[in-house]
């Protein structure tokens, strides 16, 4: 079974600074997807960024980028020029695509606070 570990329950950073959220996972699969979801106080689950394991290039979405280390099974999220609206819970998630259950396996989350 796959597991996802987020070892930082809480983090805080000054506005405009850069912050990195850590995520490690355990799997024996070679083909899979990794995601970072953001959950603001509204509770909505918002997809921030995704990474296909077969792609060596790290995914980037505006101020959000990942450092995907497949051999180390590490998938960290970097937020540049952090903004107050980035304050949220962030979940790392793993998915093994198959012809059946496309289950997302989530980490326990990191609560990020951006300080004005």
Residues near another protein, by CB under 8 A: 4, 33, 42-45, 47, 50, 91, 93, 95, 97-104, 106-109
Choose among 83, 3, 96: nearest CA to 40. 83
By beta-carbon proximity to another protein, the closer residue of 16 and 46 is 46
The least CB distance from residue 43 to another protein, in Å, is 4
By beta-carbon proximity to another protein, the closer residue of 7 and 18 is 7
By beta-carbon proximity to another protein, the closer residue of 83 and 98 is 98
Cβ pair 32, 95 in contact under 8 A: yes
Long-range contacts of 60-69 (CB under 8 A, 24+ apart): 64/36, 66/34, 66/36, 67/20, 68/34
């Amino acid at each position: 079974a796959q597991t996802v570990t987020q070892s930082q329950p809480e983090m805080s950073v000054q506005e405009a600074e850069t912050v990195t959220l850590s995520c490690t996972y355990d799997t024996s699969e070679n083909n899979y997807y990794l995601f970072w979801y953001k959950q603001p106080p509204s509770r909505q689950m918002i997809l921030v960024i995704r990474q296909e394991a077969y792609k060596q290039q790290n995914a980037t979405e505006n101020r959000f980028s990942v450092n995907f280390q497949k051999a180390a099974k590490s998938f960290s999220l970097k937020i540049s020029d952090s903004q107050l609206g980035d304050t949220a819970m962030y979940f790392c998630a793993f998915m093994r695509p198959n012809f059946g259950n496309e289950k997302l396996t989530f980490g326990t989350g990191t609560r990020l606070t951006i300080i004005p």
